[in-house]
Structure 1
């Protein structure tokens, strides 16, 4: 039923809770996990004040994204689940849905709210857009819907 599961992560509590759910599903269906972190190009570049070093800022974002991916990979490794990891530049919701299509993803498991701090009535803007545009089913997880470590 699910051969490939995508876990978009930004390192937030909700993304980490979603990773636990995705790993549990991957174990049940013997699925491969894809872990994707997106460096939001809207945060770097054109809107960045000229007195900031854009390359230094991009490097800092890459370090944050690598740490976010590493948290998920560690959980998956502890559960003996294989992972494919990638960091991409782009607009998060579009990059996620493009990845779903390009890699024939069967299920997306993601947090309802990320690190942005921008709150919406029901869902974070990235999760909402992915729900609306993904060609694969999307399971959203709140940060307080964490599974115990032994599941």
Structure 2
């Protein structure tokens, strides 16, 4: 079964559902989770003097997301480690796929909002990128309702 499960987390309700599923799988297989949060620095750089402040707030939030996820893993009795990854203008799917290879993951568990139509085209789909590029199986956990 799956012993090394990579879980991208962002603090959203959908990712919380994915994390719960990953923790259940890891507990049943006596596995472990690798919790990653991807920070896109370019999204916070505005050219104004407050850009550095915004980036620090984003880093602080990212660390909190990782700590909260690790606390949930610990409460579930699942070994976990965390990693903050920075994405300077790259593609989320490529970064997660690379981390899955580097960490030797057996499975990636992602949350997906299940967007369709125009909202999917405009907002993109990080989960779809991961599905297409991952070197290992991917479990996509949907939010309760398609967006």
TM-score in terms of structure 1 length? 0.82
**Displacement after TM superposition at 1:124 (Å):** 5.4
Q: What is the CA deviation profile of residues 37-62 of structure 1, one whole-angstrom value per residue up to 9, with x for unaligned ones?
A: 000134133xx2x2242321211111
Contact 1:97 1:135 (C-alpha < 8 Å) held by counterparts: yes
Q: Which has the larger helix fraction?
A: 2
2:80 aligned to which of 60, 80, 83: 83
Q: Distance in 1 between matches of 2:44 and 2:81?
A: 25
Unaligned stretches of 5+ residues in structure 1: 146-151
Cα separation, partners in 2 of 1:131 and 1:38, compared to 1, 3 Å:
same
Structure 2 counterpart of 1:126: 126
* Residue matched to 1:31: 31
Superposition CA RMSD, Å: 2.2
- Provide the residue aligned with 1:13 in structure 2: 13
Mark the runs of 5 or more structure 2 residues left unpaired by the alignment: none
Q: Which one scores higher on RCO, CA 8 angstroms, separation ≥ 6?
A: 1
